[in-house]
Structure 1
Amino acid sequence: MPFYIIAILVAAADQLSKMWIRVHLDVGETMMLGSVELSRFENSGMAGSLLQGYGRLFGVIAVLFVLGVLYYRKRSEEKGVLFDCALGFLAGGAIGNGIDRLLFGQVTDFIVRSGGILNVADHAIEAGVVLIILSLIVQALRNRKALRQ
């Protein structure tokens, strides 16, 4: 159940935040929200603005990625709340950016940080990767402990 809740919440938060940005900032405009710098950027490529102009293709790839996550989740021997949460963040992030790519041919990015300008979906995908790594570490430690007994 955490998988679906997280995926839906991430996709909704991503889309709502992008809508807010589109209403309040023009492309290239910047504002501060507390200590966070927001700057609207439209990215028709992939991460790091690579391969500009292929937004809709990346939208199709996002759909295939989500289908892959659903398949992997069902077939994987890896189980547990942490793993389920990780996949929820990955799927929710892919859905959020996939919606933009399929509807607009580009993704709205706006959260400025040292590595570039990202959005809520991008941060969710990063969180999902970190949680997958943590889940694998926890599973490896459990297996190691079971072998000792």
Structure 2
Amino acid sequence: MYFYILSLIVLLIDQGSKWWVRAHMSVGETRGVLAPYLHFEYYQNSGAAFSSFQGYGKWFAYLAVIVVGVIVYYRIKGALRGNLMDIAAGFLAGGALGNALDRLIFGKVTDFIVWGSGSGIMNIADLAINAGVLLLIVGMLLRSWCERRSYSFK
């Protein structure tokens, strides 16, 4: 159940934050939030991460839908089980759907979060995807460690 709830929460927060940025900022505008650690800068990315593949954003929307389908498939199959994996999958699916929705509706993704001195620009969906990948790796490592530990007791 965590999967569905978290996916929806991530999607709603992501879309709400992007709506706010589009409604209250101009492209290229910067606003300090927690200087010097965090500021908002409105950017429209028609490509992928690090502004690569500019103009091919819609293809990444289709890829995101496929990724979410794969996540749902593996959840149904039982390969992604447990609360940690549900949370990881929820972050991944919600983030992927958030950016896919932007790409399908606007043809580009609204990015606005800049950490520190500007090493990159992202949005809530990107943060959720990163958190999901990190939790997925932790979950897989924990599962592997637990399985190895149980074998040593036999």
- TM-superposed CA distance for 1:40, in Å, is 0.4
Identify the match of residue 141 of structure 1 among 141, 145, 153.
145
After superposing the two structures, state which structure 1 stretch, 71-80 or 117-126, moved more. Answer: 71-80
Match of 1:96 in 2: 98
- Alignment RMSD, CA only? 1.1
Residues 16-58 of structure 1, C-alpha deviations (whole Å, 9 max, x = no match): 0000001111000000123420000000001111110112221
Consecutive unaligned residues of structure 1, counting only runs of 5 or more, are: none
- The AA in structure 1 aligned to 2:152 is R
- The AA in structure 1 aligned to 2:91 is F
Residue identity over aligned pairs, in percent, reads 46
- The AA in structure 1 aligned to 2:145 is L
| 1: CA distance, partners of 2:124 / 2:13 | 7
- The AA in structure 2 aligned to 1:20 is W
Identify the match of residue 134 of structure 2 among 130, 134, 141.
130
Consecutive unaligned residues of structure 2, counting only runs of 5 or more, are: none
Match of 1:19 in 2: 19
| 2: CA distance, partners of 1:20 / 1:9 | 16
SS at match of 1:53: coil
SS at match of 2:8: helix
- The AA in structure 2 aligned to 1:26 is S
Match status 1:61 vs 2:38:
no
TM-score by length of 2: 0.92
- TM-superposed CA distance for 1:78, in Å, is 3.9
How many residues get paired?
A: 149
After superposing the two structures, state which structure 1 stretch, 92-101 or 72-81, moved more. Answer: 72-81
**Contact 2:68 2:93 survives alignment (8 Å):** yes
Residues 101-123 of structure 1, C-alpha deviations (whole Å, 9 max, x = no match): 00000000000024300000000
Match of 2:34 in 1: 34
Residues 78-99 of structure 1, C-alpha deviations (whole Å, 9 max, x = no match): 4110011101000000010000
**Contact 2:46 2:108 survives alignment (8 Å):** yes
SS at match of 1:48: helix
**Which contiguous aligned blocks of 4+ residues in structure 1 show a shift greater than 3 angstroms?**
none
Match of 1:87 in 2: 89
Match of 1:117 in 2: 121
- TM-superposed CA distance for 1:64, in Å, is 1.4
**Contact 2:91 2:131 survives alignment (8 Å):** yes
SS at match of 1:7: helix
